[in-house]
Structure 1
Amino acid sequence: MTTTNAAPTGAQTLGQQIERAYARIGVTGAHLGIVAMVLFGVFFDAIEQNAVGIAGPVLAEDWGLAGTQIGLLNTATFTAVALGRILAGAVMDRLGRRKLLGLNLLIFALGSLLCAFAPNYGVLVLARFIVGLGLGGEIATAVIMLSEFFSAKHRGTAVGLINVAAAGLGNMLAPLFGVIVFAVFTGDDRWRWLFGLLVLPALAVVVYRRSLPETPRFLAATGRIAEANTVINRLAAGRLRGPLAHEETYLTADATREAARPQARWTELFARRFRRTTIALGVAVCMSYAAQISMLTLIPIILTDRGLSITSALWYTLVMQSGSLLGALAAALIARRLARRLTLTVAALIGLGAALGFGFLGTGIALVLLFGALFNFAVIVLNTTIWLFAPEQYPTRIRGLGTSVILALGSLSGGLFPLVSGAVLDTAGVGGMFALLACLFAVCAIAVRFPAETVGRPMAEDA
Structure 2
Amino acid sequence: MTADPHAPATDRGSKVPFAEQIENAYQRIGLTSAHLGIVAMVLFGVFFDAIEQNTVGIAGPMLKEQWGLGGTEIGLLNTATFTAVALGRVLAGVIMDRVGRRPLLGLNLLIFAVGSLICALAPSYEILVAARFLVGLGLGGEIAIAVIMLSEFFSAKHRGTAVGLINVAAAGLGNMLAPLFGVIVFAIFSGPDGWRWLFGVLVLPAVAVVVYRRALPETPRYLVAKGRIEEANTVLNRLARGKLRGEIASPERYLEASGAEEAAAPAARWTEAFSGRYRRATASLGVAVCMSYAAQISMLTLIPVILTERGLSLTSALWYTLVMQSGSLVGALTAAGLARRLPRKLTLTCAAVLGVGAALGFGFLAVNIGLVLLFGFLFNFAVIILNTTIWLFAPEQYPTRIRGLATSVILAIGSLSGGLFPLIAGAVLDSFGVAAMFALLTTLFAVCALAVRFPAETFGLPMPEDR
| Bin of the TM-score, shorter chain as denominator length | over 0.9
1:261-310 Cα distance to aligned partner (Å, 9 max, x none): 32111221111211100000000000000000000000000000000000
- 1:253 and 2:257 equivalent? yes
- 1:329 and 2:333 equivalent? yes
- 1:18 and 2:29 equivalent? no
Q: 1:173 aligns with which of 163, 171, 177?
A: 177
- 1:95 and 2:99 equivalent? yes
Give the aligned partner of residue 114 of structure 1: 118
Q: 1:287 aligns with which of 281, 287, 291?
A: 291
Deviation at 1:127, TM superposition (A): 0.6
TM-score by length of 1: 0.98
Alpha-carbon separation, structure 2, partners of 1:241 and 1:302: 50
Alpha-carbon separation, structure 1, partners of 2:119 and 2:286: 31
Give the aligned partner of residue 315 of structure 1: 319
Tell me, yes or no, if the aligned pair for 1:53 and 1:296 is still in contact at 8 Å.
Answer: yes
Tell me, yes or no, if the aligned pair for 2:18 and 2:465 is still in contact at 8 Å.
Answer: no
- 1:412 and 2:409 equivalent? no
Give the aligned partner of residue 366 of structure 1: 370
Tell me, yes or no, if the aligned pair for 2:227 and 2:265 is still in contact at 8 Å.
Answer: no
Q: Gaps spanning 5+ residues in structure 1: where?
A: none
- Partner-residue secondary structure (3-state), 1:248: coil
CA RMSD of aligned residues (A): 1.1
Distance 1:255 1:66, change over 3 A: farther
Deviation at 1:246, TM superposition (A): 1.5
Give the aligned partner of residue 437 of structure 2: 433
Q: Gaps spanning 5+ residues in structure 2: where?
A: 1-6
Tell me, yes or no, if the aligned pair for 2:27 and 2:155 is still in contact at 8 Å.
Answer: yes
Alpha-carbon separation, structure 1, partners of 2:101 and 2:414: 21
Give the aligned partner of residue 70 of structure 1: 74
Give the aligned partner of residue 131 of structure 1: 135
Tell me, yes or no, if the aligned pair for 1:9 and 1:17 is still in contact at 8 Å.
Answer: no
Give the aligned partner of residue 207 of structure 1: 211
Deviation at 1:461, TM superposition (A): 1.2
Alpha-carbon separation, structure 2, partners of 1:264 and 1:9: 30
1:396-425 Cα distance to aligned partner (Å, 9 max, x none): 000000000000000000000000001111
Give the aligned partner of residue 189 of structure 1: 193
Alpha-carbon separation, structure 2, partners of 1:138 and 1:9: 38
Deviation at 1:260, TM superposition (A): 4.2
Tell me, yes or no, if the aligned pair for 1:223 and 1:255 is still in contact at 8 Å.
Answer: no
Amino acid at match of 2:250: H
Q: Which moved more, 1:56-65 or 1:316-325?
A: 56-65
- 1:266 and 2:270 equivalent? yes
- Partner-residue secondary structure (3-state), 1:253: coil
Tell me, yes or no, if the aligned pair for 2:150 and 2:162 is still in contact at 8 Å.
Answer: yes
- Partner-residue secondary structure (3-state), 1:249: coil
Alpha-carbon separation, structure 2, partners of 1:300 and 1:100: 33
Tell me, yes or no, if the aligned pair for 2:71 and 2:429 is still in contact at 8 Å.
Answer: no
- 1:386 and 2:399 equivalent? no
- Partner-residue secondary structure (3-state), 2:454: coil
Tell me, yes or no, if the aligned pair for 2:9 and 2:256 is still in contact at 8 Å.
Answer: no
Distance 1:234 1:63, change over 3 A: same
TM-score by length of 2: 0.97
Alpha-carbon separation, structure 1, partners of 2:427 and 2:43: 35
- 1:8 and 2:15 equivalent? no
Tell me, yes or no, if the aligned pair for 2:226 and 2:265 is still in contact at 8 Å.
Answer: no
Greater than 4 Å deviation, 4+ residue runs: 4-7
Alpha-carbon separation, structure 1, partners of 2:21 and 2:417: 38
Alpha-carbon separation, structure 2, partners of 1:17 and 1:79: 39
Give the aligned partner of residue 4 of structure 2: none
Alpha-carbon separation, structure 2, partners of 1:336 and 1:397: 26
- 1:424 and 2:460 equivalent? no
- Partner-residue secondary structure (3-state), 1:387: helix
